Amino acid sequence: MADTRAQQAAEIWIVEHALPALFEGRHFTSQKLELKWGGKFAFGAVSSAEDVVVCFSTSAAVTARGKQATAKIQKLKTDALYLLNIKKQSRIAMAFSELSMLNHFKKSQSAGRFPPEIELVHTPLLTDMQEQVLAARLAASMETSPSSDTKR
C-alpha cells in the first residue's frame, strides 16, 4: 500500500502556511460546508469566516509513465462542482502545488471548459517537501505498475 505521509504533510503545510500567505493572513481548517442541494462536503481548506473556500492538489497532470492523470483531473473537476454549489456565498479557489496541474486547468479555463469563477492559484511546496512528495509518487507508481516479470 502506498505511503501517503509525504502528501499528507504537504497538504497540512498548504493549509497552515501557503494559503494564509496567499489569502491575506486568513486562518484555514478542513471542514464540511452545506451545499445548495442540502448535503455537506468536506473541503480541504475553509477560512475561519467561511468567506474563502479552497480545494487543493499535490498531484501532477501527467503520470510517471507520461500519460495524462485522468483520474486525478476528474477528481478535481468533481471538487469544482462542490465549490460551485456551496450554500453560503464564498470566494472559491483551487490551489495546485504542481505547475503542470495548474497549467492544465488554466488552459481549460481559457478555452471555456472550466468555470471562470474558480480562482486558480499556485502553492509551491518547500524544496525538501516537494522532493518527498515526488519520491512517494514514484514509489506508488512502481507499486501499481504492471510487473515485467511474467514468471508466476
Q: What is the pLDDT of residues 108-130, one digit of tens each?
A: 999 999 999 999 999 999 999 99
53 occurs within a structural domain: yes
135 occurs within a structural domain: yes
Q: Cell numbers at residue 74, please?
A: 476528474
The predicted structure's pLDDT at residue 150: 43
Residues 123/19, Cβ–Cβ less than 8 Å: yes
The predicted structure's pLDDT at residue 65: 83
The predicted structure's pLDDT at residue 138: 81
Q: What is the DSSP letter of 97?
A: S
User: 87 phi and psi, to 5 degrees?
Assistant: -65, -45
Arithmetic mean of pLDDT over the chain: 92
**Whether residue 2 has pLDDT greater than 70:** no
**Whether residue 141 has pLDDT greater than 90:** no
The predicted structure's pLDDT at residue 4: 82
148 occurs within a structural domain: no
146 occurs within a structural domain: no
105 occurs within a structural domain: yes
Q: What is the DSSP letter of 117?
A: T
The predicted structure's pLDDT at residue 147: 57
Residue 113, classed as helix, strand or coil, is coil
71 occurs within a structural domain: yes
152 occurs within a structural domain: no
Domain range holding 136? 5-85+98-140
The Cα 134–Cα 53 span in angstroms is 26
Considering only CA atoms, which of 14, 46, 18 is closest in space to residue 30? 46
145 occurs within a structural domain: no
The number of domains in the chain is 1
Considering only CA atoms, which of 26, 78, 13 is closest in space to residue 53? 26
